[in-house]
Structure 1
């Protein structure tokens, strides 16, 4: 077993002093351990945690070696149950509102007590110590305390174990976490009395570096919780945290490209390219040395996944992977076409499961940036090149679609404006991130493109989803520099977007959205509807911070009459 456990039935720590030190550390965050009732497991290896998962009947092995499990009633994130403690000095830095809901320190302590009571009844508690951030000098020390082996396994997949950044952690007493997340789905609060939205709660105290996750065992809450705190910690350091994937060329180390987008819009799919090296598929940061992965693994949406269309991701569903909420057939094989549990079937796996991955999880400054706008209206072009002003406009708008099942209550593709293409995870004002992006685009002369991975030939329900082969051809043209050199049409008269006259491997017909609709007046009406939504969102941003808007000095980026 690991350094903390001798056997499945053994004591929790070979060294009594180390065990007592760990218990004291847990006690400081409200997790009291009764050694006669609870065993604590620390930094288990993959084989060890898999044995625990099977012993505790938390999941079952599939024929590929992946472990399948279910998350209960919560099969996606619960954004309406996410809170941040309103406490000085961080309170002055948080963009309070529908995304960042304030909660009092007193309520936080009551929820911590609820977590503590659940921990006191637990037969097993699992502790993972590791990092968020592959750049060692700016990585964040993370501790995840959970009641389920599955969550421990998930943390090991998604974050960086000490050895991944060249360290050897001899014992838990050596660890000084900057962020601790405690996740107990058996913790149930009297949410009405506490003024919460529902029985689930995801709460972060920036001053204490502490997060609480209760009443939900959806693993994505842990992942996005760490990301949210990174999004708070990094900007004052001049580091831009981004909801994006990143790849680099195999033969050209300075050939780095970023892909921004909401969950389910193509970040993971388009970055899993066998001709390139994957730096990371979802959460990336950009500092003075280049970009680095915040995570150590991938969390891919795999509904309807087929080997012939996405071979690398399909083959990643193997030993050490976790398959979440998939229906298994009578032979135990997952049926990824069956969304009867949820459309948000997910697979968590180490980055190394992708054959073409970058071992250092780092890359040079990007030469190209892609905004993936999954347009549910079907009126945006497959690709457009953006000016600097347009890039910041579309970054602040973050127009895309929430895809089915990614959040609680989202049952069909739904248009949304999510600033920074990740507004749900950004504690600070979107202008903080926009200014960092603008400065880095200028410094490194990045080309920026808007790519529609959504609908074409009509809106959702009438048109069709953009072919993955089309999106891949467009990305290939961006990566190779073809779209830097090609000819562009004059900007359209609604969105003022300049589209290329030719993209290798893409039909000329679909490059102009108007041409793909059977009814021109319906296209026009739908495009104007989306235009008005852009303008409404922009007005909201301008009213929220006129000084920031003036400082950015954006010109005319969309028709406003």
Structure 2
């Protein structure tokens, strides 16, 4: 793929050369001090800094997020996905000029030169240009130092992101071209390797824009990008965890006996698995030291704020600096950003070999999926494509009862290419490296959420993860389940055998069958609606429940 940036970069360099004060790679302490002095953040009693966003900016804004539809990318992007909103090159250039005009009015401009990717051969340099010192601090937390040897990377150049979090776009100047009910825009041109953020002060917008770019570029180099956490044991056995919010991805991958490669974004290349990030960006609502001791200590071990730099975002902090993580009045999507190196069990190299085990996590509120089941290659492609879990009350505003939700590849908004590209890479690598894939239900058993079902014990879930990671399920006897065609182990060390097959934990077997059929029908309906016109192999379709 050819990347074109020259003319746009010349315009940007002209603005930077003529601006009053451009600060390139400011010291971390400087970004903290400036963020506080400018009122973008305050100090907490523990030393991290806290910030807040307007109501329209406490999470991603899909309605304002666009991808440039150019000749070079048109046949690669899946324009059928609701997450991929096309934008013309002409409109992007107008937005770019608008962004430069805004930048030129700033007294200070902050530039950080960072990288995404712990494997220098597949690392992308990301230059972030912003009016906000807090954004610079965030890039220090989340993006990596530029590694030696990046000049030999497959990317051969950098990706630029212009971030103007507190400014607004006049959408009336773009009639019919942008969301005219909004003053926010997030636009990416993969061909020119430029991203623009105007009006979004949600820090995750910057992270996800950069990683969406990686998820688009890497398959061109035979690398499977994965929205996952990953860890490795002392023998080099790698395990990766894919799952949507609320499924336990962070909890299960933070394991004292294993080293954490990363929390959220990885690539699987011919060299093995490598972390994209430098840090973690985790949800904070109801975070406790008891449940998440490593994460809690990373945020709240008392230290001077200039030596800390962890960021709390949209969490309840009182004027005296006291933090209340149980209070959701500001947002149910409160977040924390901190560098990986503050975790005691982080793997410093952030890369390892090929995964022995992949775990697809789902928090099934219907109570009908097995706690653990083993997937065949084509079956794994199907569950990878579907990305199923349940949203339950408390996970998002407005959710009052469980809702089945599907997000392709466990990260639909950030996986822009055609589904067949990611599925093929998964299957090829599973086969080549003899990787086992398991579906792990961290949700409910014995009944539906709120109607007699109970969430499976974390103790048992950890035991199943341990068994999968150590190869203890590779030679046990399996039985086939009727509604989802899943292979269930008849026994698993440390787990009562009666809970392994979901129907056995339901007192009312007829109610179980009714709920199982309902969920299978939802799978079929979603597949038909979202992928019915995609050229998907019949062997994969055959594994879709309900079809």
Other structure's SS at 1:395 match: helix
**Distance in 2 between residues matched to 1:55 and 1:200, nearest whole Å:** 25
Classify the secondary structure of the residue corresponding to 1:482. Answer: coil
Structure 1 residue aligned with 2:468:
478
Pair 1:354–1:470, CA change in 2 (3 A): same
Equivalent residue pairs, number:
524
**Please, which moves more after superposition, 311-320 or 322-331?**
322-331
Q: Does residue 430 of structure 2 align to residue 430 of structure 1?
A: no
2:97 matched to 1:113? yes
Cα offset for 1:196?
Answer: 2.4
5+ residue gaps, structure 1, are 1-23, 170-174
Q: Structure 2 length as normaliser, TM-score?
A: 0.89
Deviation at 1:135, TM superposition (A): 0.6
2:74 counterpart SS class: helix
1:487: Cα distance to partner? Answer: 2.8
Is 2:315 the counterpart of 1:326? yes
Deviates more, 1:315-324 or 1:500-509: 500-509
Q: Which residue of 233, 242, 252 maps to 1:260?
A: 242
The answer to whether residue 539 in structure 2 is matched with residue 557 in structure 1 is no
Cα deviation for residue 113 of structure 1 reads 3.0
Map Cα deviations across residues 360-411 of structure 1 (whole Å, 9 max, x no partner). Answer: 1101001111001122322211111111221111111111245778888778
Contact 2:382-2:544 within 8 A present in 1 as well: no
- Shift of residue 333 of structure 1? 2.4
Counterpart CA distance in 2 for 1:401 and 1:491 is 23
Give yes or no for contact 2:445–2:454 (8 Å, CA) kept in 1: yes
Which residue in 1 is equivalent to 2:201? 217
SS state at 1:278 partner: strand
Q: Following TM superposition, by how much is the alpha carbon of 1:330 offset from its aligned partner in structure 2, in angstroms?
A: 5.8
Q: CA deviation at 1:59?
A: 1.1
Equivalent position of 1:190 in the other structure = 170
- Which of 441, 461, 473 does residue 452 from structure 1 map onto? 441
Q: Secondary structure at the match of 2:113?
A: strand
Question: Do 2:368 and 2:503's aligned partners in 1 also have CA atoms closer than 8 Å?
Answer: yes
Pair 1:304-2:282 in alignment = no
**How many Å separate the matches in 1 of 2:299 and 2:407?**
30
**2:326 is matched with which residue?**
337
The residue number in structure 2 matching 1:80 is: 63
Please tell me whether the aligned partners of residues 78 and 408 of structure 1 are also in contact (alpha carbons under 8 angstroms).
no
Alignment of 1:73-472 (within 5 A): 73=55, 74-97=57-80, 98-162=82-146, 165-166=147-148, 177-191=157-171, 193-197=175-179, 198-249=182-233, 251-253=234-236, 255-318=237-300, 319-329=308-318, 331-401=320-390, 414-462=403-451, 463-472=453-462
Asked if residue 538 in structure 1 is aligned to residue 518 in structure 2, the reply is: no
What displacement does 1:286 show? Answer: 0.6
Q: Deviations 1:44-101 (Å, cap 9, x if unpaired)? A: 2322211111221211222222111112221111123211011111122111031111
Inter-CA distance 290–50: structure 2 relative to 1 (3 Å threshold)? same
Match of 2:517 in 1: 528
Q: Distance in 2 between matches of 1:520 and 1:57?
A: 59
Distance change in 2, residues 1:407/1:77 (3 Å): farther
Using the TM superposition, give the Cα deviation of residue 538 of structure 1 relative to its aligned residue in structure 2, in angstroms: 3.0
Partners of 1:368 and 1:475 in 2: how far apart?
9
Tell me, what secondary structure is at the counterpart of 2:488?
A: coil
Greater alpha carbon shift after TM alignment, 308-317 vs 457-466: 457-466
CA distance in structure 1 between the aligned counterparts of 2:30 and 2:259, rounded to whole angstroms:
30
**Tell me, what secondary structure is at the counterpart of 2:79?**
coil
Change (3 A) 1:310 1:31: farther
Task: Specify whether residues 343 and 143 from structure 1 end up closer, same or farther in structure 2 by C-alpha distance, changes over 3 A only.
Answer: same
Give the corresponding residue for 1:5: none
Residue 305 of structure 1 deviates from its aligned partner by: 1.0
Q: Does the CA-based 8 Å contact 2:121-2:150 persist in structure 1?
A: no
Tell me the equivalent position of 2:4. none
8 Å Cα contact 2:185/2:196 also seen in 1 = yes
Trace 1:513-524 onto structure 2 (pairs within 5 A). 513-524=502-513
CA RMSD of aligned residues (A): 2.6
Cα 1:559–1:119 shift into 2, 3 Å: closer
Q: 1:402 to 1:95 in 2, by over 3 A?
A: farther
Secondary structure, counterpart of 1:544 in structure 2: coil
CA distance in 2 between partners of 1:246 and 1:350 (Å): 16
- Give the whole-Å Cα distance in 1 for the aligned partners of 2:130 and 2:364: 38
Runs of 5+ in structure 2 lacking a partner?
1-6, 301-307
Shift of 1:177: 4.9
- Pair 1:394–1:287, CA change in 2 (3 A): same
Which range moves more in the overlay, 127-136 or 65-74? 65-74
Contact (CA 8 Å) 2:358, 2:436: kept in 1 or not?
yes
Q: Distance in 2 between matches of 1:105 and 1:405?
A: 40
More displaced 10-residue stretch of structure 1: 356-365 or 393-402: 393-402
What residue number does 1:40 align with?
A: 22
The structure-2 alpha-carbon separation of the partners of 1:28 and 1:35, relative to structure 1 and needing over 3 Å to count, comes to closer
Whole-angstrom distance in 1 between the partners of 2:73 and 2:296: 42
Deviation at 1:28, TM superposition (A): 2.3
C-alpha change, 1:528 and 1:258, in structure 2 (3 Å) is same
- Deviation at residue 120 of structure 1 after TM alignment: 2.7
